[in-house]
Amino acid sequence: MRFVKMHGIGNDYVYLDCVRNPPPADPAALSRAVSDRHFGVGSDGLILVCPSDKADARMRMFNADGSEAEMCGNGLRCVAKFVHDHGIARKPRLAIETGRGVLTVDLELAGGRVSRVRVNMGEPILRSADIPTTLPGDPPVNAPITLAGKRFEATCVSMGNPHAVFYAGDEFFTPGEYDHVAEYGPFAELAAEFPRRVNAHFVKVHSPAEVTMRTWERGSGITLACGTGAAAVCVAGVLTGRTGRTILAHLPGGDLELHWSEADNCVYKTGPAAEVFSGDWPD
């Protein structure tokens, strides 16, 4: 089974061309196997590039634990690069079908290959029942929640998948920072207030136009980047009055540019996409 390893600012996945090849019989089991960083390829999960009757391609995403997720912003950028660079559809603008509908992506080329991608992430989902969360508010803004005995305030947004944004202290962004993300992230993901689990983001605001974030992803744990999470952080910043509608988000794997448009209510995300290597996985 031919695969391609790709990443968007360090958020790495194994990609399969299911447009020209049959899909795996058990993608959840395959995701668990290839994602293992000691005995597999090593990744945050598996993404299938599939045919679509309503777009240029369809994206199916599986986390490292085998659970299927609705969307992945960094993964979507890499799907766009895969579709273009591997000749499925060579156009400057692509439509990709995802778990949250058909999303539009604009490609920036260098030497005939995709280097950066601007994604229309769609409108944020702000109704609590649709995020989903049982925290009060539509959406919950600075809602109190206790994780591992520590009090936090959560602002919740769905970008097709659920996110909880926590504005955290300096201890999350200093040496040993991942100890804190690893300590509180699992409790956030599995908190009873999030019936479908949640992606947890710990954020430090530098200015109304700049933030740093650390992520615990549902089903994958600590990751170097989360595109839908960065979009949720952009929305949460506006909802809490901490940032403006255009921000630069610093993630461990790199930077993303975010803009929550007043014109159409959609969040736009721009960032790089890179192909690392390809290989053959025993079928």
User: b/e map of 212-232 (b: 16 or more CB within 10 Å)?
Assistant: bbbbbbbbbbebbbbbbbbbb
- Residue 34, phi then psi, degrees to nearest 5: -70, -25
Residues 34, 280: contact at Cβ < 8 Å? Answer: no
Domains 2-110+273-280 and 128-265 share a fold: yes
pLDDT tens, residue order, the chain (283 aa): 999 999 999 999 999 999 999 999 999 999 999 999 999 999 999 999 999 999 999 999 999 999 999 899 999 999 999 999 999 999 999 999 999 899 999 999 999 999 999 999 999 999 999 999 999 999 999 999 999 999 999 999 999 999 999 999 888 887 666 789 999 999 999 999 999 999 999 999 999 999 999 999 999 999 999 999 999 999 999 999 999 999 999 999 999 999 999 999 999 999 999 999 999 999 7
> Any alpha helices (H) in the chain, and if so which ranges?
27-35, 73-85, 177-189, 227-240
Cα gap 67→75, rounded to integer Å: 15
- Residue 118, phi then psi, degrees to nearest 5: -105, 125
Domain range 2-110+273-280, CATH class: alpha beta
Question: Exposure of 258 by Cβ count < 10 A (0-12 exposed, 13-18 middle, 19+ buried)?
Answer: buried
Write down the CATH superfamily of domain 128-265.
Diaminopimelate Epimerase; Chain A, domain 1 (3.10.310.10)
Angle at 265 between CA 197 and CA 262, to 5 degrees: 135
Catalytically active residues, by annotation: 72, 226
Sequence ranges of the domains in the chain: 2-110+273-280, 128-265
> Any alpha helices (H) in 218-257, and if so which ranges?
227-240
